[in-house]
Amino acid sequence: MALALGTGAVVLVVLVWELMRPTLAHTLARARHVWALRTSAGAGSYDPGRERRAEQRARALLRSCVDEHDWSMYRDLGFLRVWGALADRNGGEGAAYAYLIYPHKPIVAYVPDTGELLNEYCVAFPDDSKPYGSSRLPHSDDVLAKWMALTADERRLIGEANMHLPGRQIDPERVCRDLARLDRWEQQRAQRSKLGRHGNVRAA
């Protein structure tokens, strides 16, 4: 009797196991797949705040490298002006030509006296290691890289760039508007500075 019951139990267990096996295997495979997805998501997941934090760091670095006037220009207008230094050795204000640096756009050369656009210099700083899947630096780092390369070795940077006529990538009307904005911005700044000085004199 006991033997029959034991045999029956064994047969029952085997039958149940055979019935359950495909379901168990399927469940196990799904669990493995979900686990793998979660693990890979943890390593390279999309972080919506990463680019913003990167840009904040880049802005702080840019601010620490350029002077106050240039930083304010970039903060208020979204581009930087760098005076050309190849035509006259001194460069600086009053140079024969200047550049506008936009983030991730070509550098635009122009004549400050007339506003005439000269060339677009297409240049990029791709990081092939692509640490977060992109080779593009944050906007302000791109501007800083162009600024450093231009102020340090203008000839070398321009030599590396692809030169095009104005309008190839940046709308010339947009650049003209930016030059007008820059002009107004500098006038307002000069007025504020003048008023500030008068105020200080009166206060004294």
Partner 1 sequence: MKLLRMKPGHGEIVLAEGDVEVPAQEQELIEAFRRELDAGMWAAVPSETAGGRREAELVKSFAEVPRDAERVIFFPRAAGGAPGASL
Residues that bind partner 1 (CB under 8 A): 50-51, 53-58, 61, 64-67, 70, 92, 102, 104-106, 122-138, 141, 144-145, 147-149, 151-153, 156-157, 160-162, 169-171, 174
- Residue 122: CB minimum distance to partner 1, A: 4
CB 107 within 8 A of CB 150: yes
The strand pair at 162-164 and 107-110 is best described as unpaired
CB of 27 or CB of 134, closer to partner 1 = 134
Nearest-angstrom CA–CA distance, 123 and 20: 63
CB of 23 or CB of 45, closer to partner 1 = 45
- Residue 177: CB minimum distance to partner 1, A: 10
CB of 17 or CB of 132, closer to partner 1 = 132
CB of 53 or CB of 197, closer to partner 1 = 53
Nearest-angstrom CA–CA distance, 66 and 62: 6
- Residue 194: CB minimum distance to partner 1, A: 20
What single-letter DSSP state applies at residue 137? P
The strand pair at 98-101 and 80-83 is best described as antiparallel
- Residue 105: CB minimum distance to partner 1, A: 6
Q: Residue 83: helix, strand or coil by DSSP? A: strand
Instruction: Please state, as a whole number, how many other Cβ atoms lie within 10 Å of the Cβ of residue 124.
Output: 16
- Residue 73: CB minimum distance to partner 1, A: 13
Which residues, other chains included, contact 135 with Cβ-Cβ below 8 Å and sequence gap of 6+? Answer: 126, 127, 128
CB of 110 or CB of 147, closer to partner 1 = 147
Nearest-angstrom CA–CA distance, 59 and 65: 10
